[in-house]
Amino acid sequence: MLDENDARVSASGSAVLREGLRLGEARELRDGWYFPFLSEGSMAGCNGVIVNKQTGQLFHLGSAFPVERDLELYDRGYQFDSYDLVILEVRDRKQTLHALSRLHLDVVEPRTEHGAVWQVPRRMTSAELSAKLDQLPCILTAIRLYFDAEQLERARVAGWFTFETREHVGHPIEKNK
């Protein structure tokens, strides 16, 4: 388990941390150490970095949301850039389909043109999503949840379906085949 000093050393190696930036005071979370980025000028794009206490993995916060939102979601398990969403049980199919459709799920359709295979993503249709839910557990891969984590949290609280999130390991183009 990383202490604050070890976490600061890891955070100092962040590729986002560039000239003119420094790490602010650490804030301990349940699962990590948060370090805001401090700058003498304005900086867009990143509100700091969290270092996971167990793994040392860095998670860079975006700047689209308040820091408190991102820190709370981190401790709820939203700690990765890309996820596999595992639907374990569906209690309200209509609400489940509605909630999942708001996640902007893609499927990849390989196409061969001019002797090359192209991996072309497109939005998953409602019918395709419904068919996937017919067999549980249903695994939806390579999902980015930074902008949509609240959708899943609302569904969790409402009890429409139960799910797990896992870090997606693999090429991001390998989506929901």
Q: Is 79 helix (H, G, I), strand (E, B) or coil?
A: coil
Please choose, from the candidates 7, 142, 149, the residue with its C-alpha nearest in 3D space to the C-alpha of residue 65.
149
C-alpha span between 21 and 41 (Å, rounded): 9
**pLDDT tens digits, residue range 44-55?**
578 899 999 999
Q: One-letter amino acid identity for 87?
A: I
Q: What is the pLDDT of residue 43?
A: 59
Q: What is the pLDDT of residue 44?
A: 59
Helix boundaries (H) for the chain: 4-12, 67-75, 93-101, 126-133, 149-158
**pLDDT tens digits, residue range 68-102?**
999 999 999 999 999 999 999 999 999 999 999 99
Q: What is the residue whose two structure tokens read 């401090």?
A: 38
Counting as low any pLDDT under 70, the low residues of the chain are 19, 40-44, 171-177
Q: What is the pLDDT of residue 34?
A: 97
Q: What is the pLDDT of residue 110?
A: 86
Q: What is the pLDDT of residue 165?
A: 94
